[in-house]
Structure 1
């Protein structure tokens, strides 16, 4: 097993937080592309927003990466139990709502992954890479927490009440329209990547549209659903940051609000968020200014708004 002074690909691990015990790492040698991807993720710092979110409406998911046999990065995905009341059977990332005992959003993601798939919350075996900007679900504000599993000998322990099965998918495959698996003859007519737009209208005719992406898993014949919606959006974002490139497809349609504006609008207009903000004493003045300012900028077609939208978020 490698020591702290041993040269080679394993030394990439010194970039991770917290400091790692390299002699405990059990992973294959990393490809050059994977090395750079991990460096980019570790150095990523999302812009801090002045906007506060109600804790009771916050959640986290764990984007657990690991190194495959050829040195490429894969992400763990789960098939939700068919008996769940919501999103039964969907492909998802482990995660859930913030508990009062959680000290950070990272704690939430790790606790949920431990409860759902048995991933140990040991930060030495699965150190933090980065925490991304939050995403908007129907009634939750969800933050992705990205980690790297350093011990490939770990075996899942599934909570079958919540998770039916666990599988993996190449991280890079969320940037391309080419399937990372051999296509079966009967599935050739179904594209690996598809997308479509929802264009709901909010109060005063405000545009609350967004684009939904879907990726096949190659396991559809066995009952595994495609990676879809919020899960797909978060993994596109992780892959784009890690590999420092735009996807082969358009992520965000022109003229639609960026994620921070959609969250601000939800805090102001969706009852579940508005009630939570009122209960927790959250000042919504910044959210109100953001919606008014950016909405006017899009209507006027100003260059400043277009630049701000693209810089703040691609999703």
Structure 2
């Protein structure tokens, strides 16, 4: 065996820590909890799913973290313009659909953030922490979150008024708790900081899949800022869960067994005609039988689990 193959492999976590150059960054000193959060995010490797999604139905969002004055981590969130055709006025992360010039999902997320809020694409000032597994949006789009850290707090946003009405921040750790990170206003004392609602959708073999949508108040509702909800809330819960290495205080999913992501991705590809049409237009070879098998096998397991639970 060659000396090259027997040499000690570098620690990837240490490699990422060096790339971040936190000691040279123009940010306040980090708390120990924030340091560990960044280490965990840098070390995260998303699972690989053997599914190729059409570019026309693919999008990416940028989860831009920064360090607050007390050393805690915050995320940049935006209020979408009221003039947009979709999701007008919603609280969201910068992002959008892939363009032909985007080589990767990271390119898509960084380009969209630059176009919407003026965040530089400079990978030294805004290094990559990790890329998460894809999420399924309600408009038949596969959305991939790209997590970065802003190392220069002197950067100032430049909002694209046609797309973004305002920009604000929210503590990352607050997506794991039911306690608001801000003083409650008198008129909203009885409104819970965290709420959720469950909705159902048809799955394969006449099964019913239940999804839980979460919502968090921003503390800016009096000024017209909507809560963080739906897809954006799910993404932020996932980022916080990975970073702080703990589960949220609330129930993340509905009672019973939730189909795994691969099954949900496969069923989305099969059940949404937009995906089949896009794959045909883009010449993407898809093994539809395999996708159907993944979805159906999991649906069968889900049905058996429910019957067993009912007997117990």
TM-score of the alignment, normalized to the shorter chain, above 0.5: yes
Q: What's the counterpart of residue 9 of structure 2?
A: none
Structure 1 residue aligned with 2:276, among 253, 274, 277? 274
How many pairs were matched up?
A: 291
Deviation digits for residues 93-116 of structure 1 (CA, Å, limit 9, x no counterpart): 000001111111100000000000
**What SS does structure 1 have at the residue aligned with 2:115?**
helix
Q: What's the counterpart of residue 129 of structure 2?
A: 129
Check the 8 A contact 1:47/1:133 in 2, yes or no: yes
Deviation digits for residues 286-314 of structure 1 (CA, Å, limit 9, x no counterpart): 32121011111111119xxxxxxxxxxxx
Check the 8 A contact 2:257/2:302 in 1, yes or no: yes
In 1, distance between residues paired with 2:16 and 2:169? Answer: 22
- Per-residue deviation at 1:247? 0.2
The answer to whether residue 301 in structure 2 is matched with residue 300 in structure 1 is: no
Q: What's the counterpart of residue 306 of structure 1?
A: none
Q: What's the counterpart of residue 257 of structure 2?
A: 255
Q: Provide the TM-score with structure 1 as the length reference.
A: 0.88
**What SS does structure 2 have at the residue aligned with 1:199?**
strand
Q: What's the counterpart of residue 167 of structure 1?
A: 168
Check the 8 A contact 1:94/1:109 in 2, yes or no: yes
Q: Provide the TM-score with structure 2 as the length reference.
A: 0.89
Q: What's the counterpart of residue 7 of structure 1?
A: none
Q: What's the counterpart of residue 188 of structure 1?
A: 189
**What SS does structure 2 have at the residue aligned with 1:147?**
strand
1:53/1:17 CA distance change after superposition, 3 Å:
farther
Check the 8 A contact 1:16/1:128 in 2, yes or no: no
- Per-residue deviation at 1:82? 0.3
The farther-off stretch of 22-31 and 128-137 is: 22-31
1:188/1:22 CA distance change after superposition, 3 Å:
closer
Q: What's the counterpart of residue 3 of structure 2?
A: none
1:21/1:35 CA distance change after superposition, 3 Å:
closer
1:46-61 equivalences under 5 Å are: 46-61=46-61
**What SS does structure 2 have at the residue aligned with 1:16?**
helix
Check the 8 A contact 2:75/2:170 in 1, yes or no: yes
Please report the RMSD computed on the Cα atoms of aligned residues, expressed in angstroms: 1.9
Q: What's the counterpart of residue 219 of structure 2?
A: 218
- Per-residue deviation at 1:163? 0.1
**What SS does structure 2 have at the residue aligned with 1:63?**
strand
- Per-residue deviation at 1:84? 0.3
Check the 8 A contact 1:217/1:226 in 2, yes or no: yes
**What SS does structure 2 have at the residue aligned with 1:52?**
coil
Structure 2: state its 5+ residue gaps: 1-12, 307-312
**What SS does structure 1 have at the residue aligned with 2:76?**
strand
Check the 8 A contact 2:22/2:151 in 1, yes or no: no
Check the 8 A contact 2:205/2:296 in 1, yes or no: no
